[in-house]
Structure formats: C-alpha cells, structure tokens
A and B are shown apart, each in its own frame.
Chain A
Amino acid sequence: MKKLTFIFSISFMLAQVNYSGEVTAKSMTRISNKLQINLPYRIFSLNLGYTLGSIDINTVTGIEYRNKPSESNYVLREAYLAYYPEWGEVKFGKQIHAWGSADGNNPTDNINPYDYYYLFKIGEGRKIGVISFSTKLYFGNANLEGVIIPKYEKNRFPYGEKDFPLSIPTEPEIKYPVENEYEFGFRLQTTLGESDIGLSLFRGSDRAPSLRAGNITYEVEGGIPQIEPLLGYRETLVTGLDFVTFIGDLTLRGEAAHFRSRSPILKLNLFKTPLSLYEFQQDITYSQYVLQVEYTTNSDIILSGQLIGNSVLDEAYEWYHSSSIEYVDFPSPEFQPGMGNPIAMFSELALLLSSTGVLMDDRLELKSNIMVNLDEKGNMFSASIGYSPWINWKLETIITKFNGDKDDLDNTFTIMEDFSNLSFNIIYNF
C-alpha cells in the first residue's frame, strides 16, 4: 500500500499539470421593458489536464450561477482519459466531440446533445458531454474516427423558465424512455488536392422527445376523440458530407446531412396493454445543409456568409391500435426534428452574415451577426464590442435583437422578439 502511494505521488509529481479557466460576471437586460433577464450562466469554468507520457487526463468543470433566486450548481462537463499513441488517439470518458467543417452551424455534428440555455453560444459551450469511447486513426493524409456512446443523453431544455421565450411550462413526462441506449458513429476525413473532405455516419436516438403513442378516449360515443399524448424518442440515422476548400482568397466550407428518423419498436407487455392505447409510428426523412463562404480582408477582418437550409423530404406515419394491430386514421402532429442544427426551429432557409475584427493589438474586438430568414419574414441581429483594458481581462457589451412578423404569431422570430436584450459581461481568463 505504501509502495503504491509512493508510486502514485511520484507519478503525480512527474505528471505535467496544465490548466486554464475563466471567471465571468454577466448581466442581461430585456430591451422592451429594461428588466433583468434571469437565466443561469457559467460564472466559473476550469479546464484541468494531467499529462503523463502519452496519457492525458482532462476535466472541464464549472459553476453555473443564477441571480434570482441566487443559486449555484457545480457542473462536471467533461472528464476523460486520452491516450496518444503513434497512430492516433484513443479517448474514454465524458467528453464533447465536434464534427463538421462549417463554423457554428453543423448539421453533421450530432454526437453531443445541446444545452438550450446556451443556444446562442457557438462552439463547445452549448454542448453537453456524453460518456463515450472514441478512437481516431491517422494514416497519410486521412483520418478515421469511430465513436461509441453507451449511455444516452438528451438535450437540456429550459422548462418552466419564464425568461426564456421558447420555454415550455413543465417538463413533459417521457412515457417511453430510450431503451437501446447504444449509439455509434464514424467519420472519415481525407485531403484531396486543396480540399479536406469528410464523410460521416451516426446512429442514435433523437435528443428531443416526440409523440410515440396515445391514450385515446371518446368523450361521447360518436364524438371527437381525445388523445392523451405519450412521448418517446425516435431513432435516427444521419449520413453526412462536409468539406473545406479554397478558391482564390475565399475559403468555402460546407456540410450536408441526411436524416432518417423512425419510431422504435415498443416492448410492451401484451397483457398489460390498455385498450385505449394506440401507437403512432413515424418514418421521416429530412435533410439539412450549410454552405459557407469566408474571406479575410487585408486588415484581418473576417467576413463570413452562410446559407443554412433544412427540409422535410418524406413524411409517413401510421396510427394503430396496440392490442388489435388495427390501423386507425388519427391525424399526425407537426413534425419537429430531434437531431441536427438547432437553427432548424427558426427557419427552413436562412442567410447568416458575420464579421469579426480586432483592433488595437487585440484590445478591441468587434463582432456583428445578422441572420435573415429567407422563406418567411424574420431576422436576428447581434453586435458586440469587447474591450481588454488589461491583459486577460475583457469587458463585453452585446446587443441582440429579434424581429419577427407582427401578422404571424407562430413565427419563431416573432416569439423571440421579447427576448431582444443588452448584455454586459466582465471576463477574466487564467
């Protein structure tokens, strides 16, 4: 025992420790009524890594804080072991993956669920870590990655969050949680000429619930049926293509993903199945894509334009009586995708223009974004100024404005209008 402790402490001492982190103070004010928007945010974030030879142990932890009522939650976002042999990488643990070549909007990147509290943060900040085993092989110009996820994780929605405009009052009960939790994916990337091309495949359960069955009763004989919805998760197979290529001074990035979502078979006990139970089976094919053009000016201003699209290709559904397998003719609710780019809920075709520039030796950072819905009225505009008075400190002011269609109350941008806000952040990096 003593020997073991001794070996451990020596190896710890020999291990190289590296860390980085961030402390943030944030305040968000609604533009319409000048009142504070009370949502949780990450007040503290720490990346800690121990390196011993070819092995790294990494953790990402944080504290999520809310102003009113004052509460803080400790979050372990990632904790994994990574081994780096000559031929590649092997990682095991709770981790965040990132696939795809475009920036910020990635239809082919579906391994990690999204945390909708951080929907407007691009990058790993809006993803939830999953316990997974991944291997990446590097050979020549190419690499092949395989991921297995033994434990299913779903999106985090802000239920009952009055200040979040798209919120649902209570978390719905999931009658049929995910049974086949195993999810897996592959991605092959290679360089052809001047381009990097990636092909990917991922199979998993939807990260958002959908209607799976219903308890159906008739209030009066011959009257209107009443459906008590019972929720579950569809299984989805995603095949993706992504690329980066260069044409002159322009960088072109693109991703396209094809999704096939199907209701999984329910394992029901035939003797306990109530007569009012009707199952709803869906078989839906949809696709999403992003096409991005990026240009850096001589003064280092990065300009980027993205065309983001999604469409339902084929929608088939069936209702049938669970006990008798008799097909019945109930209607179908509107289809909502359970995977893919979260922007799909805002628009089926949108144009996103962004610009980023730094001035004064990195002391001043200016960013602006505008997302315009092309198939209906609606847009979102945001601009931010980040000033760094001393090294490692940043003061940030961000304005975000949603504009919808006053004649269309179902339009997502219209619903978000009241969320237009002004945000002040003080950030310290260490």
Chain B
Amino acid sequence: MNKINYKLQLLYKNKLSDSIKLYLLIVLSFFPIVTNAQQTGLSIMQKMDQLKKPSDSETKIKMTLVSKKGDKERSRSRVLTTIEKKYEDGIYKLKSILRFSEPKEVNGTAFLTWDRIDTKFDDQWLYLPALKKVKRIRAKDKERSFMGTDFSYEDLSGRDLKSDEYELIGEDIVHGTQCYKINAIPLEKGTQYGSRLIWIDKENFLIKRVEFYNKKNKQIKILDIPYHVKNGSYWTQTKLVMKNLKNGHRTELDIIKVIYDQGLKDNVFTESYLKRN
C-alpha cells in the first residue's frame, strides 16, 4: 500500500518519468474506460428510453391523411386528443386514450391502449360509435391500419426495449441533427417487421427517424420526427410524418397543444369510459 501511495505522490508532484508512463499505460490497458465515443446500440436506446417523461399528458393533434392518385394528392384532416398516464404497477408502463373530435364523421371514435412492460402484445380497444362497436384489437390484427392511417396497431403500441437486439452501425445527419444510426432486429416473432433502422439524436437522445423493413428486407415505411421542442423539463415531438412507401400514402401529425402533469384519474383509461364522450 505504501509503495502505491508513494508512486501516486510522485505522479502528482513530479513530471511523469518514462518508466511510470509506461507502467500507467500497461495498467490502463487492462481496464478499458467507456467514453462517450464508445456507446453501444443498447446503451443509446436506453438513454432514449430514460428521458424524463411526464406523469401524465394531454395532447391535441391535427392529423392529415395524404393519398396519391396518379400525380394528384388528396388530403383530408382530423383533429384528435390523446391523454396518457405513466404507470408503475409492474404490469403496465403507460395507459392512453385517443379520441377523435373532427370531422363530425369520426367524432367520438376512441382508441384505448394499455402498454405492457413485457414483450407481449399490448391491450388495445377501438370504439366506433357510428357502428356501435367496441373492437378488442388482438395480436393478429397488428398489421392492420389504424383508422385508415399509415400507422398500424403495432405502431401505436409501445415497443419494449427487450424486444429487439440493437446494433450501432454508424452516424448520420437527419433533419439537420447529428444522429446515431441503430439497427434493431426483433428477438421474437410477434412483429410484422423484419427490422428497423433508428436514428437517435446524439445530443438529446430523441428519435428523429425510423425506417421499417418487412420480413423480406424491403423498406415499407418511414417515420420522420423532424421537430422537437423542450417544454420545461420534457421534450415534446411537435411533428410526425409516417410515409407508406408501397402506395405513396402518408399521415402527418401536427401537435397543436400539450398540457402536462394534470393529475389524471385512473378510471379514464378503462373500457367503460371509452364509450362515453
């Protein structure tokens, strides 16, 4: 112990002699230090997942559906409100309910999700008041489009970090931001996608883009999140665009208003509440 203390004192007080430099190099080479430049795919995803999130939020969104018929583009818009609440009961991590208010044709249509902690398919319900139906969305429905948008039911459920294997494959600039580029390969069968490419902003660990590939490795969708705004201690996505490469269709979500931490009650996130206005 004394010998080491003596050596350290030397380090601090004197210039390092060559022999000590060599000694340090040898010692240090056996203990690699993780620096910022040595992030792994998983660690980046974890940093993204651990960003501060509100205990609940209420978001008003304008949804635009753009379809292509030859050269012409046709768009239609809807207005919806999403309320979300964080859970820590050991089964669910988030519960949310999405309700359309405009246009009048979809007024009252609501979608309830209970996001599970594990890798099983989330619990989802769709209420169509015009057809007087509550439909329980099951795992086999995951590929189907949600309300004619380019988001599938699987896209609307939270994907647990344990579901994929992550590999950092490079860096890229997307939406004017330096990003990590990560390849996510599913570990289980329960997904419609063969793999995803995820771009995560190096500075704030926000998802900027996701490219979706089918099981035959063909790119089928792109999700772009070009704008994020910091509201107090929370980062908020302000625009999302999901493009369907197969038919040229896209869905744009513009966040109009967000309110955080209102202290929302649990009974709001139930099947019975779904049918109320």
Per the CB under 8 Å rule, do A and B touch in the complex?
Answer: yes
Chain A interface residues (CB < 8 Å from chain B)? 216, 218, 222-227, 229, 312, 314-315, 317, 319, 327-334, 348, 375-376, 408, 410-411
Q: How far is the CA of A314 from the CA of B78 in the complex (A)?
A: 23
In the complex the two chains form, is A224's CB within 8 Å of B130's CB? yes
User: Judging by beta carbons under 8 Å apart, are A317 and B139 in contact?
Assistant: no
Contact A223 B107 (CB under 8 A): yes
Query: 16 extra interchain contacts, Cβ-Cβ under 8 A, other than A327-B76, A331-B106?
Result: A222-B107, A224-B108, A224-B130, A225-B130, A315-B145, A319-B105, A327-B74, A330-B106, A331-B147, A332-B148, A333-B128, A375-B139, A376-B138, A408-B136, A408-B138, A411-B138
Q: Could you tell me if A225 and B148 are in contact, using CB atoms closer than 8 angstroms?
A: no
When distances are taken between beta carbons in the complex, the residues of chain A under 8 Å from B135 are 334
> Would A329 and B144 count as touching, CB distance under 8 A?
no
Q: How far is the CA of A226 from the CA of B128 in the complex (A)?
A: 10
- Of the residues A314, A315, A330, A334, contact of B130 by C-beta under 8 Å: A330
Q: In the complex, which residues of chain B have a beta carbon less than 8 angstroms from the beta carbon of A330?
A: 105-106, 130
Within the assembled complex, what's the spacing in Å between the Cα atoms of A226 and B107?
A: 11
Tell whether B28 is near chain A: CB-to-CB under 8 Å: no
Q: Which of A225, A334, A348, A411 contacts B107 (CB 8 A)?
A: A225
Please name all residues of chain B whose beta carbon is closer than 8 Å to the beta carbon of A376 when the two chains form the complex.
Answer: 138-140
Q: Give B108's nearest chain A residue, CB to CB.
A: A224
Chain A residue at smallest Cβ distance from B101 = A222
Cβ–Cβ contact A329 & B106, under 8 A: yes
Contact A410 B138 (CB under 8 A): yes
- Residues of B near A331 (CB, < 8 A) are 105-106, 109, 128, 130-131, 147-148
Complex CA–CA separation, A348 to B138 (angstroms): 12
| Assembled-state Cα–Cα distance A117/B108 (Å) | 39
Interface size on B, residues (CB 8 A): 29
CB of B129 closer than 8 Å to a CB of A: yes
Q: A169 to B128, alpha carbons, bound, how many Å?
A: 22
List the A side residues contacting B130 at CB < 8 Å.
Answer: 216, 224-227, 330-331
Distance to closest chain A CB from B198 (angstroms): 26
* In the bound complex, CA of A272 to CA of B104 (Å): 25
B103 contacts the other chain (Cβ, under 8 Å)?
yes
Instruction: Name the residue of chain B whose CB is nearest to the CB of A315.
Output: B145
Closest CB in chain A relative to B36 CB, distance in Å: 44
Q: Which of B103, B132, B148 contacts A317 (CB 8 A)?
A: B148
- One digit per residue, 1 when the CB lies within 8 angstroms of any chain A CB and 0 when it does not, for chain B 113-147 equals 00000000000000011111101101110011101
Whether the Cβ atoms of B78 and A329 lie closer than 8 Å is yes
Of B133, B145, B246, which is within 8 A of A333 by CB? B133
Query: What distance in Å separates the Cβ of B147 from its nearest Cβ neighbour in chain A?
Result: 6
How far is the CB of A382 from the nearest CB of chain B, in Å? 24
A-B contact pairs, 8 of them (CB 8 A): A222-B104, A223-B108, A224-B107, A224-B130, A225-B107, A225-B130, A328-B103, A375-B140
Residues in A whose Cβ lies below 8 Å from that of B145 = 315
Tell whether, in the assembled complex, residue B144 and residue A315 are in contact, meaning their CB atoms are under 8 Å apart: yes
What residues of chain A lie closer than 8 Å to B106, measured between beta carbons?
A: 329-331
What's the Cα separation between A411 and B139 when bound, in Å?
11
Please give me the 5 A-B residue pairs with the lowest Cβ-Cβ distance, nearest first. A224-B108, A224-B129, A329-B105, A330-B105, A225-B130
Given A333-B133, A334-B135, verify A225-B144 contact (CB < 8 Å): no
Q: CA A225 – CA B109 in complex, angstroms?
A: 10
List, in ascending order, chain A residues with CB within 8 A of B76's CB: 327, 329
Q: How far is the CA of A226 from the CA of B131 in the complex (A)?
A: 7
* Closest beta carbon of chain A to B140's beta carbon, Å: 5
Residues of A near B78 (CB, < 8 A) are 329
Residues of chain B lying within 8 A (CB to CB) of residue A408 = 136, 138
B3 smallest CB distance to A (angstroms): 67
- Check if B138 sits within 8 Å of A225, measured CB to CB: no
Q: A227-B130, A327-B76, A334-B135 are in contact. Are A348 and B140 (CB under 8 A)?
A: yes
Most buried by B among A222, A328, A330: A330
* CB nearest neighbor in B for A222: B104
Identify the closest chain B residue to A348 (Cβ). Answer: B140
B160 CB, nearest partner CB in chain A, Å: 20
Contact status of A227 and B131, CB under 8 A, knowing A312-B144, A315-B144, A331-B147: yes
Q: Once bound together, how far apart are the Cα atoms of A408 and B123, in whole Å?
A: 11
**Roughly how many angstroms separate A328 CA and B147 CA in the complex, as a whole number?**
13
Residues B105 and A328 in contact, CB atoms below 8 Å apart: yes
- In the complex formed, the residue of A with least CB distance to B128 is A331
